[in-house]
Amino acid sequence: MSMTDTAKAFFEACETGGGWAGCAEHCVPDATFSCQAPVLADTHTLEGYAEWMKGLLVPIPDGRYELKGFAADPERDMVLAFAVFHGTHTADGGATAPAGRQVASDYVYAMEFAGGKVAHVTKVWNDGEALKALGWA
């Protein structure tokens, strides 16, 4: 499987709530994660992030991504994905009761590869705006 195919498979599994069980085959076992968003400040493993995404889809069961751009840089073993997360808070499971509020939140994944698998993901995301849209902040 090419780096691009692996990145697409990882992205799809992560963004549709597959959790680590759905993502692990595309990643090195000790894959790391970083994001400057306060809500993810304590998440340092890709396993932890994949499980966080899975959990996010509990209060936002219609959560989905709209892929805007996808680019591979084989010289640097890097794949970038730009997307918008869309969803509505309609189910229990969040910090506040479901209020039917919607979110459309831009984000970018910078996926670094090692040995043909995802080794690190940096997420660029403004969590403050997303949380405000949902009424969670």
pLDDT tens readout for residues 26-68: 999 999 999 999 999 999 999 999 999 999 999 999 999 999 9
Which range marks the domain in which residue 96 is found? 3-134
Q: How many domains does the chain have?
A: 1
Task: Give the count of beta carbons closer than 10 Å to the beta carbon of residue 33.
Answer: 20
d(CA 50, CA 131): 19
pTM of the model: 0.96
Task: Give the count of beta carbons closer than 10 Å to the beta carbon of residue 133.
Answer: 16
pLDDT tens readout for residues 103-124: 999 999 999 999 999 999 999 9
| Side chain identity, residue 15 | E
Q: What is the CATH number of the domain that holds 63?
A: 3.10.450.50
68-76 long-range contacts, Cβ below 8 Å, gap at least 24? 70/4, 70/7, 70/8, 72/3, 72/4, 72/7, 74/3
| Side chain identity, residue 57 | L
